[in-house]
Amino acid sequence: AQSVTQPDIHITVSEGASLELRCNYSYGATPYLFWYVQSPGQGLQLLLKYFSGDTLVQGIKGFEAEFKRSQSSFNLRKPSVHWSDAAEYFCAVILWGGANNLFFGTGTRLTVIP
Amino acid sequence: DGGITQSPKYLFRKEGQNVTLSCEQNLNHDAMYWYRQDPGQGLRLIYYSQIVNDFQKGDIAEGYSVSREKKESFPLTVTSAQKNPTAFYLCASKVGHSNQPQHFGDGTRLSIL
């Protein structure tokens, strides 16, 4: 079955440190890939998306993600984390065909320590 | 500004009571969605609608109902048949193209009294 896996439930980093959040998908073809961020009690905000082309995509708030077909991964990165980045991060995919709905990973909660 | 408005922000339900969550969008989007969010489980799709007067069940539709009488509105009713309704509910919408991202409202937190 198709799925999206975020293996890290919770990550803690120091402010100013680099960040990488992992996302793996299980699907035969290349899906459309997204990263969303959710602050407590809020909705989801789109950080970036990948459809095709350049495998390194830039998003808002200084985030970027790299699509690696060989590893079925779409990891989110930021070179220097700010305290305001503390939130929950969701990887999501749209699979070809069907209703083209989003399938979400279970999320990674990021804590930033001063 | 265009966006998705969910109301109320907090909602309380008594046992055996139906409650309706509102979702309105002024983005002129064709498709609308309802998700349920529980800790550690990510977002699960309840219902979705790709055009007016049409909607389909998602992965966890039991105990819920929806309507889509207008393009901008997609209310969700949590019925008494939903035995564990306490959750955070998110509404989303997107344009009709298959690869476009969804835009989300700020959610409604439903609790049982």
pLDDT digits (tens, 9 = 90+) for A58-75: 999 999 999 999 999 999
Q: pLDDT above 70 covers what percent of chain A?
A: 93
Mean pLDDT of chain B: 92
Question: Of the candidates A43, A104, A106, which has its C-beta nearest B107's C-beta?
Answer: A43
The reply to whether A77 touches chain B by the CB within 8 Å rule is no
Task: Say whether B105 and A41 touch across the interface (CB within 8 A).
Answer: no
Q: Answer yes or no: is pLDDT of B90 > 80.
A: yes
Bond before B8 cis per omega within 30 degrees: yes
Question: Of the candidates A43, A46, A104, which has its C-beta nearest B105's C-beta?
Answer: A43
Question: Which residue in A has a C-alpha nearest to residue B55's C-alpha?
Answer: A99
pLDDT of residue A43: 93
- How close does chain B come to A81, measured CA to CA in Å? 23
- The span from the CA of A18 to the CA of A15, in Å, is 9
pLDDT digits (tens, 9 = 90+) for A38-52: 998 899 999 999 988
Task: Say whether B98 and A100 touch across the interface (CB within 8 A).
Answer: yes
Cβ A76 vs Cβ A20: under 8 Å = yes
Question: Of the candidates A34, A41, A106, which has its C-beta nearest B41's C-beta?
Answer: A106
DSSP B112: E
The reply to whether A109 touches chain B by the CB within 8 Å rule is no
Task: Say whether A102 and B104 touch across the interface (CB within 8 A).
Answer: no
**Cα three-residue angle A39-A41-A43, rounded to 5 degrees:** 65
